[in-house]
Amino acid sequence: MKTRETWGTRAGFILAAAGSAIGLGNIWRFPGEAYEFGGGAFLLPYLFAILTAGIPLLLLEYTIGRKYRLGPPSAFRSIYRPAEGIGWWQNAIAFFLATFYAVIIAWALSYVFFSPSLAWGDDAGAFFGVEYLRAGEPLDFFEYRPAMLGALAAVWAVVLLIMAGGVRKGLELANRICIPLLLVLFGVVVVRALTLEGAAEGLNAFFTPQWDKIGDYEIWLAAYAQVFFSLSIGMGTMIAYSSYLKKHSELSTTAVTVGFANSSFELLAGIGVFSVLGFMSGEADVPIDQLVGTGGGVAFVTFPTILSQMPGGAFIGVLFFATLVVAGITSLISMVIVPFSSFEDRFGWSRKKSVLVLGLPMAAFSLLIYPTANGSSMVDAVDFAVSGYGLVLGGLATIVLAFATGKIKALAAEANRTSMLKLGNVWYTCLALTAVVLVYTLYKSIQGQIAD
């Protein structure tokens, strides 16, 4: 049998796991979610979810991956035969997530090139196509800007090249280059944002809690969904990544490091984004809440508008959009590894076959579907379905499986073989609590959707 490729160093795995976690979710998704769901009051459920659900689930996925050394479906099958389906469910989620995530990276990549000339002029909304959306007309980004089609093709070309390189020469090398680059780019952007006039107003809006919202189940579900998305859990990504760990790799401090790095980055992104919104609010005399919205709105409409008015905006634009691209790529490869490792381990495929039979069709789907008339609204719909339900259900199923099969103790013992922090009652309790909270919030949310 061929020996399984492994990460070259401990740092290599940590960088890759952090690279997966830190992504568009931190910069493009978190600030808007936090603002929409209660400002500072969102931070409480968010931190609670990181500590009691995020880090414990990271540990569960790392342990499953390292123990079985198989992609998600085969790993679940080893735990309990019929549970293989959980892994294939995660493959479906990974497929949809990766194909739309690539589109956002492609938008950002095009904006790197649009920034030097501030190409959107004084109407970034119309440039992005918002006017067409408002008028209810079908939108076709690429009819107007073939550059974006090229950008999407370039994103997929880079991703498949990295995948073809395997673990050390592909995934590990890419993260070794991208993470330091990301820190520098992001650092400059945040410092510039904080020194803008009006930054303090923005931060007030971000951190001022709306306590009356804290009891809403929506806030809790949104916080859990954000943590799952942001830490890349529930989709088998971390099972796949840790299936390439050496048997003696340490797990617990890695999970804490990744969780901490990701949240720091996320809070800093929120601080940066809201400083800039504060500046804009003062310049344009518009209240901040009219400037925020989740997703595309802030990054591709509000931000470009602000850049046009900001001293040095063209330069900061290049850095900001490049930050999105670099952060996005290291996350996208961690999504694509889910189907790759699944098919390779279940059906003995080679990496070359995965690139041709899985990678190219994914790229083709991404290119064919999202550039169409309904592409941009599909991005929002897929984000909602995948993040709100897909990942959370994947994580829930993993926890239920570990408990229902009684394997949870064996998994703790496997982790404890090398872990500095010993997994025991606290871990079991956190996982069980997470399952209860998820079942409750999902139930309420589905009930709410039906009532609507």
Residues that bind ligand PFF (CB under 6 A): 20-21, 23-26, 229-230, 232, 235, 237, 331, 334-335
d(CA 188, CA 203): 18
- Least distance to ligand PFF, CB of residue 364, Å: 21
Residue ranges of alpha helices (H) inside 208-295 are 217-231, 237-242, 252-284
Q: Nearer Cβ to ligand PFF, position 337 or 412?
A: 337
SS3 286: coil
User: What is 50-116 written as a DSSP string?
Assistant: IIIIIHHHHHHHHHHHHHH-S-HHHHHHHH-GGGHHHHHHHHHHHHHHHHHHHHHHHHHHHHHHHGG
- Least distance to ligand PFF, CB of residue 26, Å: 5
- Least distance to ligand PFF, CB of residue 198, Å: 28
Please compute Rg for the chain using Cα positions.
21
Q: Give the chain's end-to-end CA distance (angstroms, integer).
A: 55
- Least distance to ligand PFF, CB of residue 413, Å: 26
Q: Nearer Cβ to ligand PFF, position 92 or 432?
A: 92
Cβ proximity of 275 and 292 under 8 Å = no
Q: Nearer Cβ to ligand PFF, position 237 or 445?
A: 237
Q: Which residues of 152-184 are buried (b: 16+ CB within 10 A; e: fewer)?
A: beebbebbbebbeeebeebbbbbbbebbeebee
Q: Nearer Cβ to ligand PFF, position 280 or 329?
A: 329
* Element spanning 130, H or E: helix 130-134
Q: Nearer Cβ to ligand PFF, position 334 or 445?
A: 334
Percentages (nearest 5) of helix, strand, coil residues in the chain: 80, 0, 20
Q: Nearer Cβ to ligand PFF, position 30 or 274?
A: 30
- Least distance to ligand PFF, CB of residue 90, Å: 8
- Least distance to ligand PFF, CB of residue 25, Å: 2
In Å, what is the CA distance from 96 to each residue of 5, 379, 386?
27, 10, 8
- Least distance to ligand PFF, CB of residue 252, Å: 20
- Least distance to ligand PFF, CB of residue 269, Å: 10
Q: Nearer Cβ to ligand PFF, position 24 or 316?
A: 24
Q: Environment class of residue 21 by beta-carbon count within 10 Å: exposed (0-12), middle (13-18) or buried (19+)?
A: buried
Q: Nearer Cβ to ligand PFF, position 242 or 334?
A: 334
Q: Environment class of residue 430 by beta-carbon count within 10 Å: exposed (0-12), middle (13-18) or buried (19+)?
A: buried
Q: Nearer Cβ to ligand PFF, position 23 or 388?
A: 23
d(CA 240, CA 310): 43
- Least distance to ligand PFF, CB of residue 350, Å: 23
Residues near 244 by Cβ (< 8 Å), separated by ≥ 6?
A: 4, 5, 6, 7, 13, 69, 167
- Least distance to ligand PFF, CB of residue 448, Å: 24
HSE of 297, CA atoms in CB hemisphere, 13 A: 15
Q: Nearer Cβ to ligand PFF, position 20 or 302?
A: 20
d(CA 246, CA 19): 19
- Least distance to ligand PFF, CB of residue 401, Å: 18
d(CA 129, CA 135): 10
Q: Nearer Cβ to ligand PFF, position 18 or 442?
A: 18
